Structure 1
Amino acid sequence: MKRQLISTFGIAALAIGMTACSSSGSTSADKSPASDPKAASGTVTVWLMDDAQKNWPDLVQRVNDEFAAKYPKVTLRLVYQGWADKVTKLDKALADGSAPDVVELGNTETMKYVLSGALAPVDRSSFDNSDAWIKALANTCTYQDKLWCVPYYAGARVAIYNSAAFQQATGSGEFPKTETDLLAALDRIAEKNKSDKSFSPLYMPGPYWYAAASYVAAYGGSIAKFDSSGNWHGTLHDAKSQQGISHFVDLVRKYNKGDLTVNEQNQYEAMARGRAASFYGNGYEAASVAAPGTGDPSLKDAVKLATMPGPDGKPLPTFIGGSDLAVTAKSQQTALAADWVRMFTSGKSQQALADKDILPNNLTQLAPLKSKPSTAAAANAVPDAWFTPLAPGWGAIEKQKILPDMLTAILKGKSVDQATKDADAAIDQLINTQS
């Protein structure tokens, strides 16, 4: 799944070579490459997503220069990949023995490669700020008490709103900081626009399971849990999970005046067409609202981001987006590869990302971004972020749309109690089997 960014900067960087080098070799990424780094030799191939090429080529160049200075006899080959076909290319490369030594993975992709044995374990203690890594992001790299990749950067969902619509209806262009105040504001907006039956004060798509699961997390519930018997099982029928789902459904029913069965894929269009005052989405969706071609350029100054308040007086827990960096298990240069990852995720490198308004991988360097206007909304949503169950069958659960179908069934009249019970049964059939 493509992991989008909070902002876009920079120009394209030069890719260093286009070939990959990998075959059977060490399965550990923690052996010393050589007692004398200047005597180390060989080739290290790195696959980075083209986000780095477009947005922080200066960071890539600095790290590559640092690596070259430490290992002057090692050839570094950098290949930029696109999200649309990276997984297909990687699967083929792993099958034919031409996989890279280091690969960037969207954090929803990691478990597939961990379970298939494609990644080498790494030593968490050897990476900068690892004791302060954002927990949910680190969890995307952790399986059976081992670390299989390194958090690279984070992403978060935020409230996206039309400040002019809020100003006109409530007298303030600021997004409310508590849910109580938000609901009061949404009610005022609804009253202001009551003549337009298609206008949504909060456009919250019915099958939007990422949002529903955020409310589940806010109430202390979960999608599934790993039990003492060594198996995963669905927990949507648990009382706290049902509270979150019920709260989400209530918001959808009250404030979404569109088709409740439509998903969130193009939710920005509701605001772009003047049919919504706010929605909950990835930060980059705000740009689509006012972009020529996809939206209404006249909304450019009105569209703003804010932290979405949750029902418990805290920010709504967000699904943790972002990317990870992994060393492939069959690399002949696992130690050298791991050292490049150390350099690329060092405190200095993470600060370079933070300076470009990209959320770093750790809470220490995230802290200043919580008060920076351009990053506050996302940064404040991250500390309590959640992630999908790191279970063998999670991919099949997503593919079969169990959660969206559950939400749609509730909105069509099935009780929350029955729908969550049915969803847990479907989850239990799939979650422990590798997909």
Structure 2
Amino acid sequence: MKRKLIAAIGVAGMVFGMAACGSDDDSGDGKKAGAEGYAGETLTVWTMSGSNPPGWTKTVTDEFEKKTKAKLKIEVQEWNGIQQKVTTALSESNPPDVLEIGNTQTPAYAKTGGLAELGDVKKEIGGDWADAVNAPSVFDGKQYALPWYFGNRVVMYNKKVFKDAGITETPKTRADLFKAFDAIKKKGDAEPIYLPGQNWYFFDGLLVGQGVEPVKKEGDKYVSNLSDPKVAAAMDVYKQYQSYSKAPKDKDEATPQQAEVFAKGKTGAIIAMGYEAGTAIKANPKLEKDIGFFTIPGETAEKPEGVFLGGSNFAVAAGSKKQDLAKEFLRIALSEKNDGALVKEAGWTPKSEAGQKYAVGQPAAEAAGPAAKAGGTTPLIPEWAPVENPPNPIKSYMTLVLQGKSSADAAKKVEGELNKRLSQQQ
């Protein structure tokens, strides 16, 4: 399993890379890729709620329709229940042509045979992408998707709360950060950090930092690895963070939305994605001037904390009857220009060194960069897909530890369910 990512990426912003806009060569079905080549056709693209910002969407739509003379129909999907919806769609005779798929979910869909190979398009437009950025798009040595965007978490903090507690310098180590939390706690006017007990992706970053996987391979199957001492060490760090929070131990960061809690102005920090600042500002516009970001600090100043690099890929349904038109969409959507526009508008992480220039001036993006270089993902195996379906057994493990069980006992409590899910691919 490849876990380490981003050997050569910096700053933070959305995703994309070098690209070409396609050519006017004959396509496989005898049509021309240029003017009038696809007149009268409609390409259906599924994206997830919140993924495609309005500026990027308008630009890509206009370019696609001008070049191909076809119509672009973007259908926004909700995250709840999306895995089953995608699985069903890919098995039908008339699936959406292009789909946004979570990067760590791609291997599961690829194994079913539901995705078209895209190696030719990758060679054409993704020559400068860091290898690790592309890793979640590859299964069994073949390219079944193209990386669209990814990002990692940072510390989003309230400058006023930190200043009022006498904190004048940005924490550079984990110990520095905990000292800052102690100062905020002593001041008594705010909660040092809002961290619910089931912020699973933050915990996965701590696992990355410890160099350990939540699963391991035994013979020809994957099983729980939660009993590994390194998993316990990562959970100990999480427990230290959570000790400064009054957040519920059995909820995640979306219940309630942590950015809305932060917006009340009585929270020192949250572990957040950059876009969550927008949520907080929408809830409390007066807070905008007080929001800052810094890299999640590690044990030493030289090495930031490990982070989970989450994001999405674009895939083409194997059952689509518009393969060439779908590839035209990918060439346009993943062009360097549109990639850069998406970085600026959405604040994710560039896929290449060349894309770093688009993230300059994005505070959250700049804070995410140092950690992104050594970040990682969840296990890139088809067996992983069912694990994160609610109720995620690893979240249950986290809650059990925070409620007082030892890491070993908590692992034993959930490993049966985790192993069951690992044996039942979706």
TM exceeding 0.5: yes
CA distance in 2, matches of 1:373, 1:412: 38
**TM-fit CA distance, 1:346:** 2.8
* 1:2-57 C-alpha deviation (Å, 9 max, x unpaired): xxx979xxxxxxxxxxxxxxxxxxxxxxx855597569668462405374361313
> How many aligned residue pairs are there?
391
Aligned-pair CA distance for 1:248: 0.9
Q: Which shows bigger deviation, 138-147 or 334-343?
A: 334-343
Name the SS of the counterpart of 2:125 in structure 1.
coil
What secondary structure is seen at the aligned counterpart in 2 of 1:385? coil
1:426 lines up with 2:420 in the alignment: no
CA distance in 1, matches of 2:281, 2:56: 25
3-state SS of 2:280 partner = helix
Task: Give the partner amino acid of 2:177.
Answer: L
Select 1:235's aligned residue among 213, 225, 233. Answer: 225
The alpha-carbon deviation at position 182 of structure 1 amounts to 1.5
- C-alpha separation in 2, matches of 1:409 and 1:93: 37
1:154–1:359 CA contact under 8 A, matched in 2? yes
Instruction: Give the C-alpha shift of residue 344 in structure 1.
Output: 2.2
Matches of 1:113 and 1:224, distance apart in 2: 20
Q: 1:271 to 1:96 in 2, by over 3 A?
A: closer
Please, which moves more after superposition, 183-192 or 311-320?
Answer: 311-320
* One-letter code aligned to 2:316: V
Checking the alignment, whether the CA contact within 8 Å between 2:205 and 2:307 is kept in structure 1 is yes
SS of 1:203's equivalent in the other structure is coil
Match 1:186 to one of 149, 159, 181: 181
Q: Which of 373, 376, 388 is the aligned partner of 1:386? A: 376
Moved more, 238-247 or 76-85: 76-85
Q: Which amino acid aligns with 1:230?
A: D
8 Å CA contact retained: 1:391, 1:432: no
Indicate the residue corresponding to 1:329 in structure 2: 318
Match of 2:145 in 1: 149
Could you tell me how far 1:349 is from its partner in structure 2?
3.0
Instruction: Quickly say closer, same or farther: Cα 1:312–1:216, change in 2 above 3 A.
Output: farther
Q: 2 CA distance for matches of 1:251 and 1:53?
A: 33
CA distance in 2: counterparts of 1:94 and 1:417, whole angstroms: 40
Q: Quote the residue 2:72 is aligned against.
A: 78
Tell me, in whole angstroms, the C-alpha distance in 2 between the residues paired with 1:289 and 1:344: 29
8 Å Cα contact 1:161/1:277 also seen in 2 = yes
Q: Distance in 2 between matches of 1:148 and 1:263?
A: 31
Cα distance change, pair 318–328 in 1 and its aligned pair in 2 (3 A) = same
Per the alignment, do residues 390 and 312 of structure 1 end up closer, same or farther by CA in structure 2, a change over 3 Å counting? same
Q: Could you say if the C-alpha distance between residues 376 and 251 of structure 1 is closer, same or farther in structure 2, counting changes exceeding 3 Å?
A: same
> Could you tell me how far apart the structure 2 residues matched to 1:373 and 1:105 are?
26
Query: Is contact 2:156-2:270 (8 Å) kept?
Result: yes
Instruction: Give 2:118's aligned residue.
Output: 122
Residues 117 and 296 from structure 1, CA distance in 2 versus in 1: closer, same or farther, beyond 3 angstroms? same
Which residue, 309, 315, 335 being the options, matches 2:297? 309
Equivalent residue number for residue 3 of structure 2: none
Matched, 1:56 2:60: no
1:123 Cα offset (Å): 0.6
Kept after mapping to 1: 8 A contact 2:42/2:73: no
Distance 2:300 2:413 in 1: 27
Q: CA 1:123–1:432 in structure 2 vs 1: closer, same or farther (change >3 Å)?
A: same
Residues 360 and 302 (structure 1), Cα distance of their counterparts in 2 relative to 1, 3 Å cut: closer
Deviation at 1:334, TM superposition (A): 2.3
Q: CA deviation at 1:377?
A: 1.9
Does the C-alpha gap of structure 1 residues 420 and 100 become closer, same or farther in structure 2, counting only changes over 3 Å? same
Aligned-pair identity in percent equals 26
Higher relative contact order (CA 8 A, sep 6+): 2
Conserved in 1, the CA contact under 8 Å of 2:344 and 2:359? Answer: no
| Counterpart mapping for 1:23-422 below 5 A | 32=28, 37=33, 43=41, 45-49=43-47, 51-52=51-52, 54-61=54-61, 63-64=63-64, 67-68=67-68, 76-84=70-78, 87=82, 93-107=89-103, 109-123=105-119, 125-133=122-130, 135=132, 137-172=133-168, 175-193=170-188, 199-226=190-217, 229-253=219-243, 255-265=244-254, 266-291=257-282, 295-313=283-301, 314-356=303-345, 358-359=347-348, 361-368=350-357, 372-374=361-363, 375-399=365-389, 400-422=391-413
Q: For the Cα contact (< 8 Å) 2:33–2:328, is it kept in 1?
A: no
Q: Provide the rounded CA distance (Å) in 1 between the counterparts of 2:296 and 2:377.
A: 17
Query: What is the distance in 2 between the residues matched to 1:260 and 1:349?
Result: 41
Query: Structure 1 269/100 Cα, relative in aligned 2: closer, same or farther at 3 Å?
Result: closer
- The 1:379–1:77 alpha-carbon spacing in structure 2 relative to 1, beyond 3 Å, is farther
Secondary structure of the residue that 2:250 maps to in structure 1?
A: coil
- Report deviation, 1:406: 0.5
Q: Determine helix, strand or coil for the equivalent of 1:301.
A: helix
TM-score normalized by the length of structure 1: 0.78
Amino acid at match of 1:118: G
Answer yes or no: is the 8 Å Cα contact 2:207–2:213 preserved in 1.
Answer: yes
CA RMSD of aligned residues (A): 3.2
The Cα of 1:420 is off from its aligned counterpart by 2.8
